[in-house]
Amino acid sequence: MTHQDLFEILKSNHLSLASCESLTGGLFASTFTDISGASEVFKGAIITYTNEIKEKLGVSKTTIETYGAISKECAREMVLNASEYFSSDITVSFTGNAGPTASEGKDVGLVYVGLIIKNNLYIYKLNLTGSREIIRKKTVDFAFRTIYEKVAAIHEQTI
């Protein structure tokens, strides 16, 4: 599965895509928009790198204080709020620790990916290894692959 494959399946199913990124810092959006014609399906991205910006997007301060920015709860609120903001069919959120040191008492490589596809919410917990760059790339690759697989499964059900 290539990034182009994801673009093609989204385009053929008339599905829009958006992202809300923290640890990936826009890498998902940048990678997707490298595809010629990406604007046919990609609505946009929000980079909520700091807790202040996460809160401005609508992540509850209580969520951040209670669970941390690196949590499934934060990933959930990020993806729900971004999905509403963009009115997209598919929205993905990323929050986690790419390193190089522990943050919020959470290990390097702990990542949460939130995903909404047609009102179905999924939260994934990843424990990745490697450098900061590798962790960010693995996170983005996971999202591309997971979105493709979910959309392909939905497409097969409607044939």
Tens-of-pLDDT digits for all 159 residues of the chain? 889 999 999 999 999 999 999 999 999 999 999 999 999 999 999 999 999 999 999 999 999 999 999 999 999 999 999 999 999 999 999 999 999 999 999 999 999 999 999 999 999 999 999 999 999 999 999 999 999 999 999 877 654
Nearest to 157 by CA among 147, 146, 149: 149
C-beta separation of 110 from 96 below 8 A: yes
List of E strands, the chain: 17-21, 42-47, 90-96, 110-117, 120-127
> What are the pLDDT digits (tens) for 22-50?
999 999 999 999 999 999 999 999 999 99
Fold assignment, 3-157: Maf protein (3.90.950)
Q: Give the domain ranges of the chain.
A: 3-157
Name residue 53's amino acid.
I
